[in-house]
Structure 1
């Protein structure tokens, strides 16, 4: 066992500014190594969060409330060096063999995150920096609107400062996009078009010009000022002063940065691919894609192996789909049933604001039902509330994927399930129920809220990290779990469930096809349409997502298959002693982990149950 020669609480101050290669701080602890390293992890998490004002806000904190993250390469490098330094400190001061099983898992997670940061640094030049999938240009305004709470004059001053700060962050992102373009890394022209269009939307209307509706950030500013004035927090005179400060921040700092994005993307568009190609066409593209698959699936599966898994799953799900066509007595083959599901009016709400509200109301109804079933399947339940909202107009895209944004650990801000509802013909009713479960309960809201609310594990595991294979694997597993809980009473809704599972199986085939096998965008769309009833608008949006986010789409099915494998193993090993609530609490009770460490947790739980 290693000896400790300095005080634990001094380590944070020492390591936060230590360069790589400096002498590593040593630590003294009067308790067990497990207790000591858990205190150390929490200290380090505080240092980690200090890098990101946005993460502080996401966690419900109001420190650095007037700042936006530094998005430069230099800031990213500084954080990488911090990871390397802290890992060296951990290895120098703690004895892995002396730790509890859970503390060993924390150690492994810390090492994993350092390894991932180092691996990612090798491929900074291959990243698409600004693109249509909630890039910085649209993500930062959305974050500010949805997560920056304004409850005081100081909060409003900070809100205005952040409007100006977004301009700096956009400029930093543009520099990175320009540098990567010089190295040969450009997203396709369709992504250029989306960035240009979204940037124009964000900077149109009041106060940028007097045409059309007020801009989203101006509307948010006015709303905050009205509330503060009505509540007597500030005077009308002070509100007028702050309104002018917000106007200046938007017109003098915010808008010019977006104009620079629009101008450069417009000028550089001709250099981008008119026909999209996979990242294997980039310099070191094959290695970059292998890195992305490893990072997204947290496995060593190759592109060929993932492709073959996808083909197998597509074939299996087609068989289950055909069974439902017989159940509803449909007279035709599966392909014609896809067309029927894709085109028949009974499967869609009206394509207007009323239809969008009907969609949201229906999603809320399904989630209310599933909430009544949760105690039968989970011992740990989330405390944070859940809301269903339509995506803000400036970032809403026809057929784009719905998504979830976390609340705060203390429940003061709800988790939000966002739906893109600008084209209701891209959002079918049969798929509505399953998507609500994926994004809400028992899916992402449950998974992420439970993680945030966990006690007894280091904060960096409960609050500080998201792994796609674990998180999206859970989301897809939860869709099937909802059927076990009594959902999908309508066979068309059950077909909707199979449709979304097929969607994720197709992703394995299409993502690897595009980025490893040279598939064109149209080949990917055609394969998608041949194997699912998903509307064509949604399919095209999906395929373009895979093109600019290589590997990410493979996480869902790979993660789900691992969770199902571990559940089957636990059921076989434990027999009558298997408790579904205990299994789910084990899966969700350790925070987001790589799939190999999830297996370790489940194996430990099995051993504990067997040991009585």
Structure 2
């Protein structure tokens, strides 16, 4: 895997990258499946597993610290920067194990992935697969048992579950309990290659496991949440209220940003950004001849049929129209384009009720077109005013320009090509947010409605900086956070309820990367433009950012500074 070009010996950095990738393949079923490798076991989320991950991270950090990268290649330098970020996170795995509640909806999402992608899609070829499948079902029950044990240990350490989030936690567990029955249901077509004896062993073993372990584990966990967990629950939300919670949150902010920044600075930035964007939105309303306030304008937009599609096909037509506006000018901003084509396609309608928005689906060998899979349901309440900004974020020049190009770069080590985009949302989502801001200079937002939607989209992401830090460090109550979000977004009351719980009880710090990443890229572009003056070409800057693929933003900053120095010396 670490073989160099032309059969050269692998570098020391590549060997460390191999060690990291091996750890990923043995502990993250999603990546094993992507490589076609069989999944031998499922993580149970134990503290012992965290300790093993910490040991791997510590070894990789020690290896990196022993390297002299002064005269290394750009590829090795970038790989080392990525490995250092990943290894630091892994090395703290025993500490960070305590910082998340395993029964929170976003934390239980991995269980759904295991069920759908591993158990539900399992292929039986011979008797060894029977044993492997039964072992995976036992691992699933073990995950549920660990969730209960961990929650109890957290409560004993002063980390009681937040009471406002308990109903959602219980609903998530109940949902997974029901889904688990489908994950382990085996139809006849999947066992045709097994002998009658093997099928009987599978059936008997599965019946015992489901009855004695899987269902029992879920029922015990639900009983714990309804009893002891309720008794030890705390009334407030946010990490800052727990022993060691402030230090944990400060680490999570740095980890999410991938550059040095403190939560207080994030909060200040968020307030400034929300204020500036609110002013810009007021200017656009005035430009459009509307003399009322923002709340009145929102009611106007909700009723105006111009901003609501009649059919799912209309949604696609709107996105294609905005793509058509970007394509003729994109070459003025980018010198290298992805080879893979792109387009829009509706999500399976059966899945739409459970999804708030759509998603970008990167190209694969079997489906070589990158697509924005949009939600075509609830069109009477789903405004299209931010469609232009959304399509720039998701496709061109956003996620598609980043992820498709990265997948096409055969030089990248798998830890960079496959693992980094999921590990570093500050780069992945930060790039997409930055790409959406390019619409102003590209002329894509010349229509005031599109411009208003773009500002509204940016403000939604910017207010996360305020809420996440307010809830987790500055003592904001849920009521205060929800009042603030209601005043600074156009989200429904239900969306505001789930979003504020997401920031404060599910994945604190994660939502910061979107706007922080965008702001960091803007800062670096301004730095390069000021330093190079007439010698600055935005296409070269974009190539510095995109050409290396996903990296921590402090490594991107190093690359930009190196680019400035090299160009200045010419």
> TM-score normalised by the shorter chain: which range applies?
0.7 to 0.9
Q: Give matches, 1:270-289, under 5 Å.
A: 270-271=230-231, 273=233, 275-289=235-249
CA distance in 2, matches of 1:250, 1:495: 55
1:78 CA displacement: 0.6
Q: Which runs of 5+ in 1 are unaligned?
A: 1-7, 10-29, 209-214
2:450 is the alignment partner of 1:476: no
Counterparts in 2 of 1:583 and 1:519: CA distance versus 1, 3 Å: same
Asked whether the 8 Å contact 1:41–1:460 carries over to 2, the reply is: no
Correspondent of 1:145 among 103, 110, 116 = 116
Specify which of 441, 455, 472 is matched with residue 515 of structure 1: 472
Question: Given that residues 453 and 462 in structure 1 are in contact (C-alpha distance below 8 angstroms), is that contact kept between their aligned partners in structure 2?
Answer: no
Say whether the 8 Å CA contact 2:349–2:377 is kept in structure 1. no
Aligned to 1:19: none
- Corresponding residue for 1:100? 73
Higher mean alpha-carbon deviation, 141-150 vs 551-560, is at: 141-150
How do 1:243-254 residues align onto structure 2 when only pairs under 5 Å count?
Answer: 248=207, 251-252=210-211, 254=214
The within-5 A match list for 1:161-560 is 162=136, 165-204=139-178, 215=182, 217=183, 248=207, 251-252=210-211, 254-271=214-231, 273=233, 275-341=235-301, 347-348=307-308, 377-378=333-334, 379-381=336-338, 383=340, 390=347, 397=354, 400=356, 403=359, 410=365, 427-465=382-420, 466-488=423-445, 490-548=447-505, 549-560=507-518
d(CA) in 1 for partners of 2:539, 2:208: 51
Which of 19, 30, 34 aligns to 1:44? It is 19
Give the direction of change, closer, same or farther, for the CA distance of 1:316–1:569 in structure 2 (3 Å limit).
Answer: same
C-alpha displacement of 1:358: 6.1
CA contact (8 A) 2:428 2:550 kept: yes
Cα distance in 1 for partners of 2:318, 2:157 equals 48
Cα separation, 2, equivalents of 1:159 and 1:481: 49
Distance 2:44 2:543 in 1: 37
Secondary structure (helix, strand or coil) at the match of 2:11 reads helix
CA distance in 2, matches of 1:196, 1:333: 40
Q: 1:424 to 1:71 in 2, by over 3 A?
A: farther
Q: What residue number does 1:583 align with?
A: 541
1:593 to 551, 554, 565: 551
The size of the alignment, in residue pairs, is 558
Gaps of 5+ in 2: none
CA distance in 2: counterparts of 1:95 and 1:497, whole angstroms: 45
CA contact (8 A) 1:290 1:303 kept: yes
Q: 1:348 to 1:189 in 2, by over 3 A?
A: farther
Aligned match of 1:21: none
Deviation at 1:467, TM superposition (A): 1.4
- The CA distance in 2 between the partners of 1:85 and 1:152, in whole Å, is 36
TM-score, structure 2 normalization: 0.83
- Work out the CA distance in 1 between the residues paired with 2:277 and 2:547: 30
**Deviations for 1:375-434, whole angstroms, at most 9, x for unmatched residues?**
554414163867756489789557x565556665x5668777566777667643223443
SS at match of 2:559: helix
- Where does residue 25 of structure 1 map in the other structure? none
Q: Distance in 1 between matches of 2:304 and 2:235?
A: 32
For residue 262 of structure 1, report the CA deviation from its aligned partner. Answer: 2.2
The CA deviation string for residues 76-134 of structure 1, in whole angstroms up to 9 with x for no partner, is: 21121112123323444x4322323442333233233222333453343232222122x
Q: CA deviation at 1:560?
A: 0.6
CA spacing shift, 1:395–1:491, aligned 2, 3 Å: closer
- 8 Å Cα contact 1:391/1:421 also seen in 2: no
> Bigger shift: 72-81 or 94-103?
94-103
Task: Measure, in 2, the Cα distance between the counterparts of 1:243 and 1:375.
Answer: 58
Q: Say whether 1:605 aligns with 2:563.
A: yes
- Secondary structure of the 1:270 match is helix
Q: Answer yes or no: is the 8 Å Cα contact 2:124–2:194 preserved in 1.
A: no
Q: Map Cα deviations across residues 539-583 of structure 1 (whole Å, 9 max, x no partner).
A: 222111111222222222211111011122223334454443332
Could you tell me whether the CA contact under 8 Å between 1:184 and 1:282 is conserved in 2? Answer: yes
Higher RCO by CA contacts (8 Å cutoff, separation 6 or greater): 2
**Cα separation, partners in 2 of 1:248 and 1:451, compared to 1, 3 Å:** farther
Task: Output aligned runs, 1:52-63, within 5 Å.
Answer: 52-57=27-32, 60-63=34-37
Q: For the residues of structure 2 that align with 1:411 and 1:195, how far apart are their CA atoms?
A: 37
Q: Which sits farther off after the overlay, 453-462 or 313-322?
A: 453-462
> 1:269 and 1:420, CA in 2 relative to 1: closer, same or farther beyond 3 A?
farther
**Alpha-carbon distance in 2 for matches of 1:275, 1:602:** 46
User: Alpha-carbon deviation of 1:523?
Assistant: 0.7
Q: 1:573 to 1:160 in 2, by over 3 A?
A: farther
CA RMSD of aligned residues (A): 4.1
Residue in structure 1 matching 2:94, options 99, 113, 121 = 121
1:355-392 deviation per Cα after TM superposition (whole angstroms, max 9, x unaligned) = 6x865775577567756765554414163867756489
Which structure 2 residues correspond to residues 5-24 of structure 1 after superposition, within 5 A? none
Q: Following TM superposition, by how much is the alpha carbon of 1:598 offset from its aligned partner in structure 2, in angstroms?
A: 0.6
The 3 A distance-change label for structure 1 pair 259 and 559 is: same
TM-score of the aligned structures, taking structure 1 as reference length: 0.77
